[in-house]
Every structure is written in structure tokens, then in C-alpha cells.
Amino acid sequence: MSGRRLREAVQAEFASHGMQNMTVVISGLCNVYTHYITTYEEYQAQRYEAASTIYGPHTLSAYIQLFRNLAKAIATDTVANLSRGPEPPFFKQLIVPLIPSIVDRAPKGRTFGDVLQPAKPEYRVGEVAEVIFVGANPKNSVQNQTHQTFLTVEKYEATSTSWQIVCNDASWETRFYWHKGLLGLSNATVEWHIPDTAQPGIYRIRYFGHNRKQDILKPAVILSFEGTSPAFEVPNSGLH
């Protein structure tokens, strides 16, 4: 019933500004949850839903008032004049980490980003190019992501003698796996599921990460690193 009343109020507001036959849809696309919102009448019963309406019996009326104002602003093209309202509190600086921080370690004789398993010299369209690197906890990169991606697949362009990025960790055809080991050791596996649209040529896979280092009696530091695979070829799909 609350949703019905809200829709009807918004429709009426649009209609009052000459915008007839508007279809109003309530959809929580921003993933915000404000608990139950009962009608004033439902609130009086004080069942579970009423007790969970956290702003009291007039919660729905307050929402309707706000949404009518929004509808009016849209109808009159005055959205820019709306007040932003108070800024929500920012509690990030008060968060106390409860999970112990693990210092990353590379195997003896290795460093972060080293290639443990290179790609094969050649792959065809439809196959999966895979490279395994000496890795570090991806959580270290949450606030330190220099390249804004954990991986890139790059193609060599002979005309410019440079490597051009063709996809990253946001691309559908890539996969990034982090394999946690013991005592801070870990590996990172990067896969490229070579699509039908891949152009023939020379490719390589790169990995970007951050490792946590801590010396005795010193605060931990986060260091960036990167690794690059040997080049491999994707031949013309018509060649056998």
C-alpha cells in the first residue's frame, strides 16, 4: 500500500504540471535499504513491519513529500536548484581492522611479479593463454591501484614499435585468480580466453600488484610491482 500511495502521489504531481499518463516505477537501483515503510494506518497495528519503520508513523508522508518535490523539479526543469541536504557522516577513519595483516613473501631467489609459468609460444583463437606470477594479496591494491587493473593483455604494434592494451581485468575474456599459500607466499594466475575477434599477432600478459612489507620495529609499507610474460603468438585463424 505504501508503494501504491507513493506512485499515485508522484503521478499526481506530474499531472499537475501537464505531464499526463506518466508511468511511475519504484526501483531501488542504488541498493539502499531503509527498512520497512508502512502506511500511517498500518503503523497503528504495531506488528513487525510497523515496529521496523524506523522513522515513526509519518515515515511514508515524509517520503511522499520528498518525492513530490523531486517530481516537481523534474517537471519544471529545476533539478539543479534542489538542496543537496546534509552530508552523511564519514566513519572510515574510525574503522579498526580486526583481520591481522599478513606480510607478503616471495619464494627464495624470486621477486614479486616474476613469471613462474610462462604462456606457451603459440595459441589459437578459442584457446586460453595462462601465465602464473609470483603474487601478493590483492587487498593491498584497494587504495594503491596505480594502474587501476590487476592485468593487461597487450599486442605488439610493429608500425609504432610499441605495446597496445587490448583488454584488462574488466574485460569479459580475462580471468584473475589469486592462490594463497603458506607464510605469506602466493601466486597470481592470469588467463586470457582468446576471443574470435582477436587479431593475429604477438601478445604478452602483464600483472600489476602491491606487496605488504614490514621490517622489524618499523611500520608496514605497501610497495607496487609488476610482471610481464614472455611474448606469444596468436596466428591467423585460417592457418593450420
What pLDDT is recorded for position 230? 98
Residues of the chain with pLDDT under 50: 240
Integer angstrom CA distances of residue 171 from 149, 150, 168, 191, 194: 10, 11, 5, 11, 11
What pLDDT is recorded for position 158? 93
What pLDDT is recorded for position 21? 86
CA distance 212 to 58: 51
Domain assignment present for residue 147? The answer is yes
CA distance 189 to 138: 12
Number of domains forming the structure of the chain: 2
What pLDDT is recorded for position 31? 61
The parent domain of residue 75 ranges over: 1-81
As annotated, the binding site includes 36
**DSSP label at 198?**
P
What pLDDT is recorded for position 34? 76
Identity at 172, one-letter amino acid code: W
CATH number for the domain spanning 209: value is 2.60.40.2300
What pLDDT is recorded for position 122? 97
CA distance 190 to 204: 11
What pLDDT is recorded for position 30? 66
Identity at 81, one-letter amino acid code: N
Q: Domain check: are 230 and 120 in the same one?
A: yes
The residue among 81, 101, 122 that closes a domain is 81
What pLDDT is recorded for position 168? 96
The residue among 32, 59, 81 that closes a domain is 81
Q: Domain check: are 123 and 219 in the same one?
A: yes
- Quote the crossing angle between the two packed helices 2-16 and 59-75, to the nearest 10°: 30
As annotated, the binding site for Zn(2+) includes 36
Residue 37 — φ and ψ, nearest 5°? Answer: -130, 100
What pLDDT is recorded for position 215? 83
